[in-house]
Amino acid sequence: MADEKKPDVPVEITIDAMTAEARAHLLQAFRRILRPLVKLLIRAGVRFDEFCETVKGVYVESAVREGLGPLGKGTRTRIAYVTGIARRDVDRYIDDPSLLAGPKPTFARTLTEIIHTWHTDPMFQGPYGLPLELDFARSLDRSFSALARRVDPNCDPAELVDELLRARVVVGSTEKFLKVVSRTYVVPVAMSAPMLEHLGLALTDLANTITHNADAEPALKRLQRSVFPDRGLPSSMAPAFEKLVRSLVQQFITDVDNWVADRMKEYHPIRPEKQIDTGITVYQYIRSDEIPPPLHVLSPPGS
């Protein structure tokens, strides 16, 4: 006679992997991370209940995809118990993929690839490797439209060139010629979809690198470097510091971009290889040492 299957009921769970001090630092780290992000949410009119729903979905998705840490993979009942999320909500997020589906990607990545190709592909370069001035669509092979469709066959070249002109990456006009004057695409409109998409990708990349390095063996850690004056920098030196950093970083980024382009020209695989979505981002930061006033001062009783 087969054993009767026991019901999946919650059991008392104790996780001793993290000390109380480490847990306090973890929560404080998330407060720091969330402060500028919550500022954006408030500015965009996102309510707290909307944010809670978003976080609830992240909890469920992470528990399902990554497991429950020392507890391994969990059933839906175990996930609900460990995360504190109602079982009906666990079921809802697991069973309805639309709740976790993101918006349609913007064309920001296509724009950066267009700029890269324009600077590195011989088809779109003139003497000394300088990018050619391109007409919009008159030339069959060497027009902006041909360049854009080489990057993304399904794109709308007119929409892309309008964005590059607005961002001042390209100058000229679609009636005459277009000249690329920058190797960097910076989203020109604050709180726009491309800017917010970039924000999410950049913070995700940085967080993933930090968490990976926390667990990986020394030989497998990813590049993550910082340089800073031990006791801060005199304010009078800040402009020179920023000028130096911008110059060095721009040259570094250009060198990496050229290296990738040169290697890809020489790359002729015998069989298709798995593609790894990788890159490098350099951050400059400025921290404020001002102590903010207490909340009860900013919003006193009866206000």
Query: By percentage, how much of the chain surpasses pLDDT 70?
Result: 92
Domain that holds residue 74: 20-99
- Say whether both 92 and 165 belong to one domain: no
- Say whether both 144 and 203 belong to one domain: yes
Q: What confidence score (pLDDT) does residue 303 get?
A: 55
In a domain, 74, yes or no: yes
Q: What is the pTM of this model?
A: 0.71
pLDDT tens by residue, 98-137: 998 888 888 888 999 999 999 999 999 988 889 999 999 9
- Nearest-angstrom CA–CA distance, 73 and 78: 9
Nearest to 109, CA basis, from 60, 178, 42, 160: 160
- Say whether both 146 and 189 belong to one domain: yes
Nearest to 81, CA basis, from 5, 12, 6: 12
pLDDT tens by residue, 52-68: 999 999 999 999 988 88
- Say whether both 95 and 107 belong to one domain: no
Which of 59-68, 114-123, 251-260, 294-303 has the weakest average pLDDT? 294-303
Tally of CB atoms within 10 A around 228: 10
